[in-house]
Amino acid sequence: MGLEFYGLENINENVVNACTEFLKKQGVSEGKVVVEVVGKKGDNYIARVRRFVVQNDHEAKPFRMIVKIAPSDGKTRKMIQIVTLFKNESLIYNELLPKYKQFEQSAAVPEECKLRLPVCYGIHLEAPHECIALEDLNESGFYIANRLKSLTEDEVKLIISDLAKFHALGFVFRVRENGAFEKLKSGLQNTWSYYETAEEFKAYMKFLETQVESVLDENDFKERLKGILPSFATLAVDMHESDLYSESTIIIQGDCWTNNLLFKREGATPVEAVMLDYQLSRISSPAVDLHYLIFNCTDSETRNGRYSEWLDYYYDNFTKYIAFYDLKASDVYSRYNFNVDLQKYAKYSLALTLMLASMLVRESEEALDFKEEGIDATEMNVEKQFENLGVSNMKEATFRRFKERVRGVVKDFISYGYI
């Protein structure tokens, strides 16, 4: 009988063939395969996501897998740096995460303390038809939080704990297998080297600076932000060059925003989390992941009175977890160095947070889908291309969310002494 596919609109034959091989490796070689769209516009900015559901007469329960499919348009692929992103994630799933599982097994880490990792069923890197197949965690009761709302304190602490484990494993890798660490580090590419010279990105960041200033009333806030957004890509490249030679850097997750985080509840309480999407993984400081999570996934009200507590919670968990490997946190990444990094990477993190704010606060119908649309700054009417992104064209509720997020982030960065 073989596999019969349904719902393959806009899915290339090469991707179908790759997914057929992924399924066969899981022992699924026949049945009806229904392909479903996962998520809405604005839920994923880099890939199209599909759920493959296989039903056959021999199995009572369908087999499900999630497939991330790269855009095929050449202009879009260049702008998003698709080849680099999929290669990066391939290295993480094929080399890094299996290594981390080996470390946990060798150290006899208790099951309840291990880092929960998604199962990867296969990766296809033939351009322009890249795709990555993962387990469908919905089957295990995991959910995605509402990206337009702040994560709860319970959800934040689950991810902070997972980041502490992920980062601890990063230092274990660096210390115990430095040669392999250096090789993998050199394989992970920094996408910002492209954006530093990309005219469309430069134009967008200058435009974004005007939009951010438009929702700030305080002159002090505006003065502190001067130049941070337009210089972001250059700052990112400079930081990356520094990261390559720092002894306090490891391979970070890189993209801890709400839609890349899954949670599982017992009753009404979140009790487990899983981090997805490692396309932005690279060598950097653990502080970058913490900043990214906290300032992109929580609002100022939720952070109020908890920020210092969350940093303590992170470092306490990092200390506890790295001890499983007979290493001391103070030796590999001291609390002093962690505090220094929080300050060192602050402007970089602030710019990244403000850049993402304009995208993450939008309803689905307002979202700009870069993987489908793109921006071309080479045309004469570049201002018109940005017009739909401006605050003047936001829905009232979206504008409120944008203003509250921007003001909250700037206020908090000032109050924490970062800018």
- pLDDT band of residue 372 (cuts 50, 70, 90) is low
Return the closest-CA partner of residue 45 out of 279, 245, 383: 279
> Which of the four pLDDT bands, split at 50, 70 and 90, describes residue 194?
confident
Instruction: Check if the beta carbon of residue 160 is closer than 8 Å to that of residue 314.
Output: yes
pLDDT at 369: 63
What is the average per-residue pLDDT within 201-205? Answer: 89
Residues in the chain: 419
Alpha-carbon dihedral angle through residues 404, 368, 280, 258, given to the nearest 10 degrees: 50
Q: Which residue has the higher pLDDT, 190 or 159?
A: 159
Cβ atoms of 389 and 65 within 8 Å: the answer is: no
Contacts of 293 (CB under 8 A, 6+ apart): 156, 159, 160, 163, 256, 257
Residue 381 has pLDDT above 80, yes or no: no
Q: Three-state DSSP class for 109?
A: coil
pLDDT at site 394? 93
Give CA–CA dist 186/179, Å, rounded: 11
Measured distance CA(175)–CA(36) in Å, rounded: 43
Looking at per-residue pLDDT, the higher value among 190 and 327 belongs to: 327
What structural domains does the chain harbor? 74-117+144-415 (3.90.1200)
Residues 275-286: tens digit of each pLDDT: 999 999 999 999
Confidence of residue 370 (pLDDT cuts 50, 70, 90): low
Task: Determine the pLDDT at residue 154.
Answer: 97
Give tens-digit pLDDT for 312-359. 999 999 999 999 999 999 999 999 999 999 999 999 999 999 999 988
Q: What was the pLDDT predicted at 383?
A: 61
* CA-closest candidate to residue 165, choices 345, 341, 344, 329: 329
* Range 293-320 average pLDDT: 98
- The mean per-residue pLDDT over the stretch 372-378 comes to 48
* Mean pLDDT within 171-182: 98
Q: What is the Cα–Cα distance from 36 to 55, expressed in whole angstroms? A: 14
Percent of the chain with pLDDT strictly greater than 90: 84
* pLDDT over 90 (residue 379): no
The DSSP annotation for 122-156 comes to: EEE--TT--EEEEE-GGGGTEEE--TTSPPPHHHH
At 46 the pLDDT is 85
First to last CA, the chain: 64
Report how far residue 345's alpha carbon sits from residue 339's, in angstroms, rounded to the nearest whole number: 10
pTM attached to this predicted model: 0.95
User: Mean pLDDT, to the nearest integer, of 356-382?
Assistant: 68
Give ∠ CA 182-318-153 in degrees, rounded to 5: 125
